[in-house]
Chain A
Amino acid sequence: MSYDIMVLGSGPAGLAAAVAARGRDKSVLVIGGRWQDSPLAKAERVDNYPGLPGRTGLELLEEFVRHAQALGTDFVVGKALSLLAWKGFSLTVGSQVCQGKALILAPGVVRNAKYPGEAEYLGRGVSYCATCDGMLYRNRPVAVVGLAPDAPQEANYLRSLGCQVTYVSPLRPEGLDKDIPCVQAGKLAVKGEQTVTGLEADGALLPCAGVFILRRAVAPTDLLPALETEEGFIRVDRRMATNVAGVFAAGDCTGGPLQISKAVGEGHVAALSACEYLDANPPAGA
């Protein structure tokens, strides 16, 4: 199904955008991780959100989600892996393709720092998608760099395909198949010649043919390389419009202060601007 507006991110900015866009009767799809995994969920007490002092981050998030749901917002839980800006916008989440006519980026702070060798060997042994590329590494050694809550499941999946998996992560994960060896390391570098030959983990080389780097989210600038940033944040105007037509941004991804009220306000503005954009650019043949 194609939506009027796709919102990437299920935190306060994304949910406020959904509420505002539903108020203008646009169909809205919110794509994001489990809201319980939002960084805000860790806040023990929020005292500066007007009218609702003393709530936990989790309580506020739950109310925001309920509000957006009650107004008819659709949700897809998962990580957006790739984006295509052609005839509107398409996003892939796992093996699912979602489509929309306008896009609001509200993923929070997503760092796009890469490991040495990562960009160089992307598509030549470095992969971000176990579902997509796992089959290409059957019966071969692979390293899974687990930086996301669902990374252990992805590692288990790769093992079930027949990959020889080693899990690499700064912390020991929960839910990892007990037969998968786990290396605790933080300083990583991808090594290779024509293609990947190994992963260096805290100085020790793990020989492997593939390195699956599984982060919590893909940075917006990796999804949409044309996106302009300023000091690491997405550049927007007062309407929360980015430099790409039909793409708006809101919340922490546009810069500080990293506060709920600011995110909510920007989400609201981004949604109204997206509605204006849709009304000014009706689809061909409509």
Chain B
Amino acid sequence: MIHFNKETFDKALAEGGLMMVDFWAEWCGPCQMLGPVIESLAEQYEGRAVIGKVNTDEEPELAMGYQVSGIPTVIFFKDGREIDRKVGVMPPDAFVQVLEEHL
């Protein structure tokens, strides 16, 4: 699981492929709850999709840039472009569905 900053995020995005990014923050209870789900998906999809997290507190520019206005927000990218986003806590299936559709 990757913890992105602006630089590593832009690099991963430029590489194309399927990417799933969890925008979160320490003070956000629902984000804490979703954390283990994201981690388990990162393990499950290792080598097939890039799965990582952006701390909105440390990377406000990324959060603003993608108009993240509620956390947790999970954004999916393919070939450098946003293809879907999910806002709020959801079970792994909700994310698996999007990942499988675009793999």
Contacting residues of chain A (160-208) with chain B, CB-CB under 8 angstroms: 194-196
Instruction: Output the least CB separation between B87 and chain A (Å).
Output: 3
A132 to B29, CA, bound (A): 7
The answer to the question of B21 belonging to the interface, with a C-beta cut-off of 8 Å to chain A, is no
A210 to B70, CA, bound (A): 10
With known contacts A82-B88, A84-B34, A86-B37, A123–B29 Cβ distance under 8 A: no
B33-A82 in contact (CB<8A):
yes
Partner of B32, one of A85, A97, A122, A129: A97
Instruction: Output the least CB separation between B53 and chain A (Å).
Output: 15
The answer to the question of A133 belonging to the interface, with a C-beta cut-off of 8 Å to chain B, is yes
Residue of B nearest to A122 (CB): B87
A129 to B37, CA, bound (A): 21
Partner of B28, one of A95, A196, A209: A95
Contacting residues of chain B (47-82) with chain A, CB-CB under 8 angstroms: 56-57, 63, 67-71, 73
A90-B33 in contact (CB<8A):
yes
With known contacts A82-B89, A92-B30, A124–B69 Cβ distance under 8 A: yes
A84-B28 in contact (CB<8A):
no
Number of A residues whose C-beta is below 8 Å from B? Answer: 32
B69-A93 in contact (CB<8A):
no
Contacting residues of chain A (116-137) with chain B, CB-CB under 8 angstroms: 122-127, 129, 131-133, 135-137
Spell out B's residues near A (CB within 8 Å): 25, 27-34, 36-37, 56-57, 63, 67-71, 73, 85, 87-92
**29 interchain pairs, CB-CB under 8 A:** A81-B29, A81-B30, A83-B89, A84-B33, A84-B34, A84-B90, A84-B91, A86-B37, A92-B29, A92-B30, A92-B32, A92-B89, A94-B29, A95-B27, A96-B29, A97-B29, A97-B32, A123-B69, A123-B87, A127-B70, A129-B29, A132-B27, A132-B31, A133-B70, A135-B56, A135-B57, A137-B69, A195-B69, A210-B69
Spell out A's residues near B (CB within 8 Å): 81-87, 90, 92-97, 122-127, 129, 131-133, 135-137, 194-196, 209-210
Beyond contacts A86-B91, A123-B70, A132-B29: 7 other A-B pairs, Cβ-Cβ < 8 A, are: A83-B89, A97-B32, A132-B30, A136-B70, A195-B67, A195-B69, A210-B69
